[in-house]
Amino acid sequence: MAFGAASPYIRTMATRLYTHPVFLEHVTPPGHPERPDRLRAISRVLEDGAFDLLDRMEAPLADEATLLYAHPENHVAALRRAIPETGLRAIDADTSVSPKSWEAALRAVGAANAAVDDVFLGRADNVFVASRPPGHHAEKTTAMGFCLFNNAAIAARHAQQRHGAERIAIVDWDVHHGNGTQDIFWDDPSVLYCSTHQMPLYPGTGARDEVGAGNIVNAPLSPRTGSETFRDAFRTRVLPAIDRFSPDLIVISAGFDAHHLDPLAQINLDEDDFDWATGQLMDRAAATSANRVVSLLEGGYDLEGLSSSVAAHVKRLIRG
């Protein structure tokens, strides 16, 4: 456990951070919103003294067998073959790969799995993974929406396979619906998937009546709504579902593109909303999950909005 400098009796949360230089080498086309500058902005803001308590770690490579927790072997093999030796190769209209994309994707998954290990083995109470490419749009057999592998889904399965977790809650506050995570866990009642997202918006999924095996909770938000609507959706749909489910681990698909500065959507949140939502999930984790929270970076495309929101989120993880 980490202790505050002011007194040996004041406990602070042990918060770990995973990132890696190779995440900057996953190259996207000029002008693409999911760009290396996103991680540079996060790195700069986390250099502030307010984050001195972060336990900073290098993202490890995933065991490639863990990719099969969420994706079939032939799909994984096809994606590996798609990685070019030079230049860029399009996977779809929005998603491309470059020579270092395979390593970046493996380290994004590896960091997510290592974060799960950390919280179950007592090496940290919570973990934030600053990685790219993101993951929540990656379906079982389709890479899309800037995403190659579904990091959150693989991490949830890793918790079950490696640590015997029975119930995992994935909470996705990215402004775009996590169609990939919903696809992977559609008929699996051992994983609760809760999503707040703008609708209508890419990818077009996430209606309230999409419920899977009763384990899917969608809370679509109308364009140009803001804090009050977002918090009401959290209070009335997401948090009650978590309370009923009583998870062993909470995984956050932490997209920050619902920030009012973001160019890809029209939900008007600010960093205080992400601080609040983080605190609400930490309260639930303290009650049911021995404080276990793993947060994985998803979207967020305005650098100022992204960095200020990540700062608020990570401060809350540290503060408890």
Lookup: tokens for 77: 């093999």
**Euclidean distance between the first and the last CA atom of the chain, given in angstroms as a whole number:** 13
Given the DSSP bridges, would you call strands 15-19 and 126-129 parallel, antiparallel or unpaired? parallel
Q: What is the DSSP string of 176-209?
A: S--HHHHHHHTT-TTEEEEEEEESS-TT----TT
Catalogue the E-assigned strands of the chain: 2-3, 11-12, 15-19, 55-58, 89-90, 96-97, 126-129, 168-172, 191-198, 216-221, 249-254, 293-297
Q: Is 177 a catalytic residue?
A: no
| Of the candidates 257, 270, 291, the residue with the CA atom closest to the CA atom of residue 173 | 257
> How far, rounded to the nearest angstrom, does the alpha carbon of residue 65 sit from its chain's CA centroid?
21
User: 213-218 long-range CB contacts below 8 Å, 24 or more apart?
Assistant: 213/186, 213/187, 213/188, 213/189, 214/189, 215/185, 215/188, 215/189, 215/190, 215/191, 216/182, 216/185, 216/186, 217/192, 217/193, 217/241, 218/177, 218/182, 218/194
Lookup: tokens for 39: 């991680």
| Catalytic pick among 71, 75, 136, 137 | 137
Alpha carbon distance 210, 125 (integer Å) = 32
Phi and psi, residue 3, nearest 5°: -125, 145
Catalytic residue numbers read 137
